[in-house]
Structure 1
Amino acid sequence: VAALTAAACGGGDDPTTVPLSSGGMATTAVPSPVEEGPPTGPVTLITHDSFWVSEGTLEAFTAETGIEVVLQTAGDTGQMVSAAILTTGDPLGDVMFGVDNTFLQRALDAGLFETYESPALAGVPTSLQLDPTNRVTPIDFGDVCLNYWIDRFDVDDPAPSTLADLADPAYADQLVVQNPETSSPGLAFLLATIAEYGDGWEDYWAALRDNGVVVTAGWEDAYWGEFVSGGGSRPIVVSYASSPPAEVIYADPPVDTPPTGVVTDTCFRQVEFAGILAGTDHRAAAELLVDFLLSPTFQEDIPLNMFMFPALASAALPQAFVDFVRLADDPYMLEPAEIEANRNAWTERWTEIVLR
C-alpha cells in the first residue's frame, strides 16, 4: 500500500504554449556569491514528504563531489512553499525540490529562487520548462487521470473515455474523487475540468454531484477505500497514469497485467521543479546538486520510488512503465499564474457546489 501510495487528458492546451506569467510581483533573486575554492557543504535539500529515493542514490552525489546532502522534509507542497516564504532571503536550506506547477507562481512571486541554468537542462523537453528565466529546473512530471477497474466494463458497458462521460447517468454512483482543498490529485482533477470547460466548470461539477460522485479527503481514502482496488464499490477513481504499473509491481499474489486502465483524455500534467534558494551560503554546492537531480543516476531512480516520470528525456524507464503506462498526448495544463490567482476562489466555489 505504501509503495502504491507513492504513485503519488480530451486534450487540453498544448504544454508548449503554457508560458509562465512575468506579471504580478514575480522577482528574480540576485545569485548568491559563489564561494572561493572548491564547493563545500553540507548542502541542505528541502523536500515535500513524498520524496523518496533508493538507498545509495544521494550517497552517489557525495561520492562524486565530497559534499554531504542533508534532507529536510517540510510537509506537503503547499506547506513547504508557505514555510519557505517565511524565510525568503535567509533560507533554512540550499535547494528545494518538489514545488509543482500548481504552486510555482506563488514561489516565484515571493522571490524564493535564484536563477540557474543547469547544463543538463538541454536534455529536458521544452514543454516542461515553464520558467523562461530558469529560476526553477524541471525534475519530474506525472499525469493525474481517471483510472478505472477493467473488469467492471465491457463492450456493452464501456469505460468512460472523456470528462463529459462522467455526467452521463450510465456512470451514476461510479466515480470517487478527492477534495481539491486537501488533496493534490483532487486539485489537479479540478484544474483539468476548468481547463476543459472554462466558465462552465461549475455546471459540470453540479452534474457530477447529481450523478452521485463521492468525495474523499485524500488519495488513500479514495483508492484504498472507495475504489474497487481497495475493496470498495466504485470502479472509477482519480489517480495517476503510473497507478497501473504500480498495481503490477506490488501485486500480491503477482499479476501479469494491471487490473486498471487510464482514461488519457482526462489527464492533468503536474511538473515538479527544483530551485536554488535565494540567499544560500552554498551556491556552488547547490548548483552541483541541481545538476545531480537531472543526472541519469537520480532521474532513473524516480519512477519506482516516487512513481513520477523523469524530466530527462534520455532517462531509461523501468520495464513495467514501458509496458503499462499510457501518458496523455495532449494533457490539460493551465498557466501557473492563472492557478495562483484563482486557486482559492475555485476551491471555495467547488466546496459550495459539491459539498454544501
Structure 2
Amino acid sequence: MIIRTRRTLATVAAVGLLPALAACSGSEAPGESGGSSTDGELSGTVTLVTHDSFALSDGLLESFESKTGLQVEHVAAGDAGTLVNQLVLTQDSPLGDVVYGVDNTFASRAVEAGVFEPYTPTDLDPSVTAQAEPGLVALTPIDRGDVCLNVDTAWFEDAGIQPPATFEDLTEEEYADLTVVTNPATSSPGFAFLLATVSAFGEDGWQDYWAELADNGLRVTDGWSDAYYVDFSGGGEGGERPIVLSYATSPAATVTEDGSASTTAALLDTCFRQVEYAGVLAGSDNPDGARALVDFLTSGPVQADVPGSMYMYPADESVELPTEWEQFAPLAEEPHEVAAEEIAAHRDEWIEQWTATVIG
C-alpha cells in the first residue's frame, strides 16, 4: 500500500472543480420556495459558511440580495470534515448564520452537538423531503450525488485489459498498483467509500477487504483533488493510475469534443449516495436572513444551477437535468447505504479501524 499526504484543496463535492455543464433555467424566483422570506422586512448581513467547493453561477446570489435586501458574506471553511469540526468547535460563537455542505456522512456529528436550529422550508418538492434522513430533520437537502470508483476507459483499452466492475475486482493481481482513493479521516468522499464497503461486506468483512486492497498496491491521498488531478490517468494532468475514487457525475466532464463518448466511466456497483444539506446555525445573529437563504438554496433557479456549478444532482428531482447526464452521469440504481444513526454510532470506530488496517 502506498500513501501520500498532500494539502487537501477541496474534498467534498469537489466535482464542482470540473468543467461546468450549462445549467438549466428555472421558473421560480429566488426565495419563493420557502416559508421564511419576508420581502421588505429583511436587512443586514447573512453569513453563509460552506465547504470549499461551493459555487453558483454569476448573478444568482446577487438576485437574492436584490430581492431580500440582505447582503451575503461567504466563508469557505475547508472540506466537509473540516467544516463540521469547525462548526462543532465554534458552536458557542458561530462562524455565521447558515451552513451549506455538511453531508450524510458527517452531519449527524454536528446535529448531535446542537449546532443547528431546526428549520424546514415550506412547499418543498416531495422528492426533497424524502431525502431528509431520520436524525437529520433539522437540515434541508440541497443536492445529492453518488461517490464511486471511476476508471480511465481509454487507458484500459490501450493496455488491452478489461476494466474492473466490482469491489472484488480491485484485489485481483491484474489491477495491482492501479487504484487511488482518499483517506476517510480527511475526505468526505473517502469516508463515503468506506461506508460503501461496510455496506457491501458487513461489519465483519470490510476490514479484510481493505487489507487486500492495501496489499494490492492501493494509493491513498488526503483529498479528492490530488487523487483525481494528480494521480488519476484520466484527470488530464499526467497521472499514472487508471482507477480513482470520484463521483458518478465525473464522466460527464470527460466527454469527447464531438459529444459521442466519455473517456472515463463510473463503476455504479461501488457507489454510496451522498446528500448535502443546508441548515440554520443555532445562535445566528440573523436567523430570519438565514432561513431566507435556506429557502433560496431550495428555489428553482438554484436547484437548476447545481449540476453546472457543483456537478451534483439537485435534491429537487423535478428539475430538468443537462442532456449529457442521462448518458454519461446516471445515478446508481441501487447505491450502498448506511443509516445516519449507524454512521453516528460507529464513525470514529470505523475510521480508527480503517487507519490501523490500511496505514498501520
TM-score, normalization by structure 1: 0.83
Corresponding residue of 2:53: 50
**Do 1:48 and 1:73's aligned partners in 2 also have CA atoms closer than 8 Å?**
yes
Look up the SS of the partner of 1:300 in the other structure: helix
- Structure 2 counterpart of 1:322, from 326, 332, 335: 326
Q: Structure 2: state its 5+ residue gaps.
A: 1-8, 17-35
Greater CA drift, 128-137 or 40-49: 128-137
Match of 1:167 in 2: 171
Identity level (%): 48
Question: What is the aligned partner in structure 2 of residue 283 from structure 1?
Answer: 287
Partner residue, 1:242: 249
Contact 1:179 1:187 in 2 (8 A): yes
Would you say the 8 A contact 1:123–1:314 is kept in 2? no
Which residue in 1 is equivalent to 2:225? 220
Contact 2:232 2:243 in 1 (8 A): yes
Deviation at 1:185, TM superposition (A): 1.8
**TM-score (norm. length: structure 2):** 0.82
Equivalent residue in structure 2 for 1:197, among 170, 180, 201: 201
Task: Tell me which residue corresponds to 1:266.
Answer: 270
Residues 132 and 232 (structure 1 numbering): CA distance in 2 closer, same or farther, change over 3 Å? Answer: closer
1:185 is aligned with what amino acid?
P
Match of 1:312 in 2: 316
* Secondary structure, aligned partner of 2:149: strand
| CA pair 233-280 structure 1, distance change in 2 beyond 3 A | closer
Higher mean displacement: 265-274 or 281-290 = 281-290
CA distance in structure 1 between the aligned counterparts of 2:215 and 2:97, rounded to whole angstroms = 48
Q: Per the alignment, in what secondary structure is the counterpart of residue 257 of structure 1? A: coil
1:166/1:45 Cα in 2 relative to 1: closer, same or farther (>3 Å)?
Answer: same
Contact 2:107–2:136 (Cα < 8 Å) also in 1: no
Cα distance change of structure 1 residues 41 and 316 upon mapping to structure 2, 3 Å threshold: farther
The 1-side partners of 2:345 and 2:72 are apart by 35
DSSP 3-state at the match of 1:334: coil
Q: Distance in 2 between matches of 1:246 and 1:123?
A: 29
The one-letter code matched in structure 1 to 2:295 is: D
User: After TM superposition, which residue ranges in structure 1, 4 or more long, deviate above 4 angstroms?
Assistant: 2-5, 253-256
> What is the CA–CA distance in structure 1 between the aligned matches of 2:112 and 2:136, rounded to whole Å?
13
Write the distance in 2 (CA, Å) between the matches of 1:107 and 1:50. Answer: 20
Cα distance, 1:106 vs structure 2: 0.8
The match for 2:111 among 98, 108, 111 is: 108
Displacement after TM superposition at 1:202 (Å)? 0.8
**Structure 1 segments unaligned to the other structure (5+ residues):** 9-32
The CA deviation string for residues 297-331 of structure 1, in whole angstroms up to 9 with x for no partner, is 11111112211111011222223323311210111
Aligned residue pairs, count? 327
SS of corresponding position for 1:160: coil
Amino acid at match of 1:7: V
Mark the CA change 1:34 to 1:112 in structure 2 (over 3 Å): closer, same or farther. farther
Whichever residue aligns with residue 302 of structure 2, its letter is: F
Residue 336 (structure 1) shift: 2.2
Change (3 A) 1:264 1:318: same
Name the structure 2 match of 1:79: 82
The alpha-carbon deviation at position 256 of structure 1 amounts to 4.2
- Contact 2:233-2:240 at 8 Å conserved across structures: yes
Conserved in 2, the CA contact under 8 Å of 1:101 and 1:270?
yes
Of 145, 148, 159, the residue aligned with 1:142 is: 145
Q: Which amino acid aligns with 1:63?
A: S
Q: Could you tell me how far apart the structure 2 residues matched to 1:235 and 1:133 are? A: 36
Among 7, 12, 27, which residue is 2:15 paired with? 7
Distance apart, 1:131 and its partner CA: 4.0
**Whole-Å separation in 1 of the counterparts to 2:261 and 2:129:** 33
